[in-house]
Copies of this chain bind each other. A is one copy, B any other.
Amino acid sequence: MSPASRYTYLGPEGTFTEAALRTLPEAATRELVPMVSVPAALDAVRTGEAAAALVPIENSVEGGVTATLDELASGEPLMIYREVLLPISFALLVRPGTQLTSVKTVTGHPVAQPQVRNWLAARLPEAVWESAASNADGARLVQEGRYDAAFAGEFAAGPYGLEALVTDIHDAENATTRFVLAGRPARPAAPTGADKTSVVMWLREDHPGALLELLQEYASRGVSMMRIESRPTGEGIGRYCFSVDCEGHVADRRVGDVLMGLKRACQRVRFLGSYPRADEVWPTLAPGTTDEEFVAAADWLNRCMDGRA
C-alpha cells in the first residue's frame, strides 16, 4: 500500500492503542503499522511514510502522555485530525487451563499496575509483579512461559494463544484513555457542532498573572477549557509551555477570536487542530458568543466607522 493509506500507531500489536485505532471506520481500509514508540509513530508521519499516527495523549488515571504532548509541541508541525476515547479495563490473560490459584507471577505495562493494584491486593495478594515493555509484550511473555499471567486488553488473548481468566478489571471506575490521530497540517475537518480545538502556548514573559491572562482570553469569549497541561520548555525549572484543549472549532467565531487573542498575547502559539469531540457533546453557548453575534458586532463596527451606527 502507499504511504497515503498507511496509519502508524504506538505498538506492538494487541495494545489498547491498536484497539482504539480499529474503532475508526477508515482503519478497515488502511495498512496499520505498529511502531516502537510515540516519536517513531509520529516521525513516520513527518517523513511521509504514513498518512497519520494514532497515539495516546491522556489517561484518566495516569494523566498526560508526555511523549505525545512534547512531540506535538516541538519539531515539524503536526495536526490532530481525530480523537478516540477508549474505556480501559484489563483482562487477566493466562495460558489455557491455568487456574487463578496457581498464578504466582504477573506482568503488564507499568501504566497498568496502578489500575489493577487493588484488584491484585484483593484477589492475588501473593502474586509478584514484574513490568513488561507493553501490555502486549506481557502477553507474549506469558505465552513463552516467563510469567503465569499478564494484564492486557481482552483482545490480546487470541493473537498470543492465551485465554482471559478474568475480564473487566479496573480499580478506577471510568478509566479511559484518550488517543489522537495526528497527521500533517491540513485544512481542519468541517465543524460538526461538537468540536474541540487544541493549542500549545508559550507565555510572552514570565510575569505573574500571564497564565491568568491567557485563561481570560478563553473565558471572555465563553469558551470552556477542557484540558490544560503544563510542560517544561527545557530552558530550566520554572519555564513552562501550556497544552490546552477547548470546546469549539477554529471556524467558530468565538474560538477563532480566542486564538487571535492568544496569538497576540503569547510569545508563540502552535495550533494543533480542530476535530470532532469523541463524546459528541454540544456546547451551551453563553450570551454574546454565537457566530451570528460575532458577525453582527463586526457589521456594527463597520457602520460605526462609516458613521452609520
Contacts and interface: CB of A to CB of B under 8 A. Distances in A.
Interface in A247-289: 250-251, 256, 259-261, 263-265, 269-271, 287-289
Contacts of A122: none
B217 A250 contact: no
A60 B234 contact: yes
A218 to B, nearest CB: 8
Contacts of A306: 187
A212 B208 contact: no
Main secondary structure of the interface of A (DSSP, over half): mixed
Interface stretch (A42-50, A94-102, A157-165, A223-231): A223-231
A305 to B, nearest CB: 6
Contact of A188 (B173, B188, B256, B305): B305
A282 B174 CA distance: 42
Given A208-B225, A237-B176, A289-B264, A63 B305 contact: no
B58 A232 contact: yes
A155 interface: no
Counting chain B CB atoms within 10 Å of each CB, which of A211, A232, A269, A296 scores highest?
Answer: A232
A261 B221 CA distance: 9
A25 interface: no
A218 B208 CA distance: 9
Interface in A183-200: 185-188
Interface string A297-309: 1101100111111
B204 A307 contact: no
Nearest to A61: B234
Given A62-B66, A288-B264, A238 B232 contact: no
B217 A263 contact: no
Interface string A164-179: 0000000011111010
A215 interface: yes
A208 B260 CA distance: 20
Contact of A172 (B235, B256, B309): B235
Contacts of A173: 235-236
A244 to B, nearest CB: 10
A85 interface: yes
A172 B140 CA distance: 37
14 contacts: A60-B237, A62-B232, A173-B235, A174-B235, A174-B236, A174-B237, A185-B307, A186-B307, A204-B288, A211-B228, A227-B230, A250-B305, A259-B301, A270-B309
